[in-house]
């Protein structure tokens, strides 16, 4: 008597096969392409940035001593040690102040313009020409309050010295008129006990004696004119 074997059944189809779908093949990961040029550029930019930051920090940290003015020095006045102070600034091609090490060379030189406190001293602001210059004379003119403007006179102001008769108004007020002398203010003194104020002026050498004689008699009035 023979034993019959039950028929073998095949494995049940997968759900994907049943749905008529086949599994997609797995693709390998793409390789990243290295670009040496971009890498070199990135490294260069990093290096340049570091160098720039280092240079900036170094430049800001480096200062040099220069000469500055601690108080006003009027035009035509000699520089004194008390007028100067040390200041430290970062190097700047646009600025050319005098190094503080040259301080002794500056003392005694003359201000070529009115120097303001807090400003840096430059070579162009100084001259070795003392007043009066050749061809000029320095005259002190004593005037009463009615013989000069109420506005304070400044060193370097252009003025006219107008002759007046005793106890009268000026006889002329135009440049070139007889007796009218062009002058430049150097310094103005404080009022004296007699109420007169002495103003030092520069005039042409040919006019000096006449101006001095009239000023001694109180026969000069001062008129301020427009400067150049």
pLDDT digits 0-9 by tens, 147-192: 888 888 998 899 999 988 765 555 554 555 558 999 999 989 888 8
Token digits of residue 221: 């009035």
Enclosing domain of residue 107: 64-127
Q: Backbone phi, then psi, for 124, in 5-degree steps?
A: -65, -20
Farthest CA pair distance, the chain = 173
More confident of the two residues 135 and 6? 135
- Cβ atoms within 10 Å of 58's Cβ, excluding its own: 9
- Do residue 150 and residue 198 come from a single domain? yes
How many Å apart are CA 147 and CA 219, to the nearest integer?
9
Domain membership of residue 116 (yes or no) is yes
More confident of the two residues 146 and 43? 146
> How much is the mean pLDDT over the chain?
80
Domain membership of residue 104 (yes or no) is yes
Last residue of a domain, one of 82, 98, 127: 127
User: Looking at the 3D structure of the chain, how many domains does it have?
Assistant: 2
- Do residue 143 and residue 210 come from a single domain? yes
> Could you tell me the pLDDT band of residue 80, with boundaries at 50, 70 and 90?
very high
> Could you tell me the pLDDT band of residue 93, with boundaries at 50, 70 and 90?
confident
- Do residue 210 and residue 142 come from a single domain? yes
Last residue of a domain, one of 127, 153, 175: 127
Residue 150: per-residue pLDDT:
87
Nearest to 181 by CA among 213, 154, 216, 220: 220
Q: Backbone phi, then psi, for 181, in 5-degree steps?
A: -120, 130
pLDDT digits 0-9 by tens, 109-155: 999 888 999 999 999 999 988 888 889 999 999 988 888 888 889 98
Residue 162: per-residue pLDDT:
92
**Alpha helices, H only, the chain:** 15-18, 36-61, 103-106, 208-216
- Domain at 75, CATH number: 3.90.1210.10
Last residue of a domain, one of 109, 127, 145: 127
- Do residue 111 and residue 156 come from a single domain? no
- Domain at 140, CATH number: 2.40.30
């Amino acid at each position: 008597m023979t034993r019959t074997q039950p028929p073998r059944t095949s494995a049940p189809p997968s759900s994907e096969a049943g749905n008529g779908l086949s599994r997609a093949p797995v693709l390998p990961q793409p390789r990243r392409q290295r670009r040496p040029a971009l890498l070199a550029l990135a490294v260069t930019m990093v290096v340049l940035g570091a160098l720039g930051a280092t240079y900036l920090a170094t430049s800001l940290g480096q200062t040099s001593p220069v000469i500055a003015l601690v108080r006003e020095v009027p035009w035509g006045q000699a520089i004194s040690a008390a007028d100067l102070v040390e200041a430290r600034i970062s190097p700047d091609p646009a600025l050319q102040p005098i190094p503080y090490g040259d301080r002794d060379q500056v003392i005694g030189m003359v201000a070529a313009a009115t120097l303001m406190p807090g400003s840096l001293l430059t070579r162009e602001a100084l001259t070795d020409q003392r007043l009066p210059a050749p061809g000029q004379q320095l005259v002190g003119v004593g005037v009463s309050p009615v013989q000069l403007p109420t506005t304070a006179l400044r060193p370097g102001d252009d003025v006219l010295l107008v002759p007046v008769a005793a106890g009268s108004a000026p006889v002329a007020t135009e440049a070139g008129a007889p007796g009218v002398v062009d002058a430049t203010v150097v310094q103005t003194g404080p009022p004296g006990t007699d109420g007169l104020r002495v103003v030092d002026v520069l005039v042409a050498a040919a006019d000096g004696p006449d101006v001095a004689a009239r000023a001694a008699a109180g026969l000069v009035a001062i008129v301020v004119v427009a400067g150049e």
